[in-house]
Structure 1
C-alpha cells in the first residue's frame, strides 16, 4: 500500500547523474563479483599494489589469482596472460589515460579496468570498467559497472539508511569522532552479496553538481602539483576530477604522522601491500611512502596552499 501524508522525508533530487546508464550496484568489489559471474572468469592477474578486497572477492568467487608488478608510472610490467586469464588494471590516481588503457586492451584483450580512483574518466567502449562512489562523494556505498555481460540472477535492492551515521556525524562534528564508524562501514562490504544500488544512495547522487566537483578537484590537484612536483618521485599529469594528489617522497610515513598531529589526515591506502611484498620491492616502498593528499570538492585553492605549506614544513 502506498503511504500518503505523515512526516516529510529526505527530498528527492533530479539533477543529471554521472554514469546514469551503467549497472548500479552496492559496492565496487561486487562490481568485480558481477563480472566474474557474468564472464565466467576462472583466472585473473591482479597487481601487488592493491588492497586485499580484490583478492578476497576472487577467493569468494573461486577465481585463481596471480600477482603482477607495476612500475613507477603505475603500468603493469610485461606479463603474458595464460589461456582464459584476465588482467585486472587499476587506474591509480587517474594517471592511466584512455589512450593507455586502449593500448592495454589491444595488447591483452581480456582486461577489467578499476576506475575507483578515476570517477570522471569515462570508460572505453567494450571494456569492462568499475567505478566506486564513496571515494568521491558523501555516500555510504554505491558503485557503477560498465559491461555488456549480464548475470541472470534477480538482485535485491540494497538499503543505506543504517549506514549513514558516520556521514551525518562528520557533517556536524569532527572526522576523528566518527572515524570508527566510517571504518566499520568499510568493513561491512567484505561479506555483502551483490545488490542493486540503494534508493537513498542513488537519490544523493542525483543531487550533485558534477561539473563544479570536477572543476574543484582538478584545480586543487594542479595547485598541489605546482607546489610539490619538484620533490615528487612520480611524474604526474593533472587528472580531470582528480581523486587525490599522490606525493611519493622519502620519509613519507614519518610525514604522515606529523601531519596528523595538525589535524591533516592522510591515509595509507593499501596497508595490505606491506604483508604481500618484501621491503626491497617497489610496491612496498610506494605503499609506505606515497602520501595521498586530499584535493576534493570540500576545499579551495587557499586550503591547498595551506596544505602544501604544512607538507613542506614537515619535510624540512
Structure 2
C-alpha cells in the first residue's frame, strides 16, 4: 500500500510543480467539434512569450503556458474571445459553447473578482478603494495611474505585498520621477534641436522664465491649445518669459509641416527620442499625455508641471513668477 502511494505521489509531482510554474486551462465545451484555443495579444499586454495555440477535439482541450505576473488577457476559445484574469494556476471550464463566458473559467479567485468588477461598472480606482487587499489590486492601481494624483493615491492604497508586485514597483518608479521633477527641483536637461538642426538647452535660457510646451503634429488637443499659448506669449514674452514648443514627433517632416500650418512666433524645437516609452522626455518627466507644460523659473528650477487637465493654470503660474 505504501509503495502504491509513493508511486501515485511521484506521478502527481510534475503536475503540482507545473501548476506552480505556469497555468493550465482544462476545458470541456460542448457544442464545439473542432477549433483552437489561444491568447489574443493586445496593445499594452506584458506577454513576452505567448503560448502556442492548441486544438480543440470534440470540445476538449488543455491549454498551458506561463506568464511573468498575473494580468488580464483575451482568451480565444473557438470563435469566442473572453476577457479573463490570468495567473499561473489551474483552471477548468465545463459548459456549453452557448453559455461560454469569462466567468465560466473556474479555479482563480482573482478571475472571479475580475468578472465581478467587469460587470459592476466601477472605475478602477473606486474598486481599489473598496478592495485594497484584492489580488486584483496591483493591476487596478496600474490602470488608475494616468494622472499624478491618481498614481499617488493608487500606490498609497496598496498593501505592502501589493507594493512589491510588478505593478507596485512600476508605480513607485513613477513616483520617484515625480519627486525628482517636483516644483523647486533643478530642471533636468534633455536633447532638443531647432528646425535647422541647431541644439538648444534650457540652460541657454538661464535668467529667464521658460515655458516648455510639449506637443506633436498628431495631437489635436495640442493644436487646439496654440491660440491660448499665443495669448500667453503676447502677455508675457516682454516680461522675461521665453516660450519653447517642444515637439515629440518622430517624423520631422510632419513636425515641420504642422509648423507651417500653425505658425508659432516663439522658439520651436524637436526632442530626441520622440514620444517613446523608453527614451527621451516621456520617461524622463513621466509624461502621460500631451499637451504637457513645464515652467522653469529664473534660477533654473521647475516652478510647475501642468498636464492636459491643468494647462489652463499656466496664466496664474506665469503671473506669480513675473511678480516675484
TM-score by length of 2: 0.24
- Bigger radius of gyration: 2
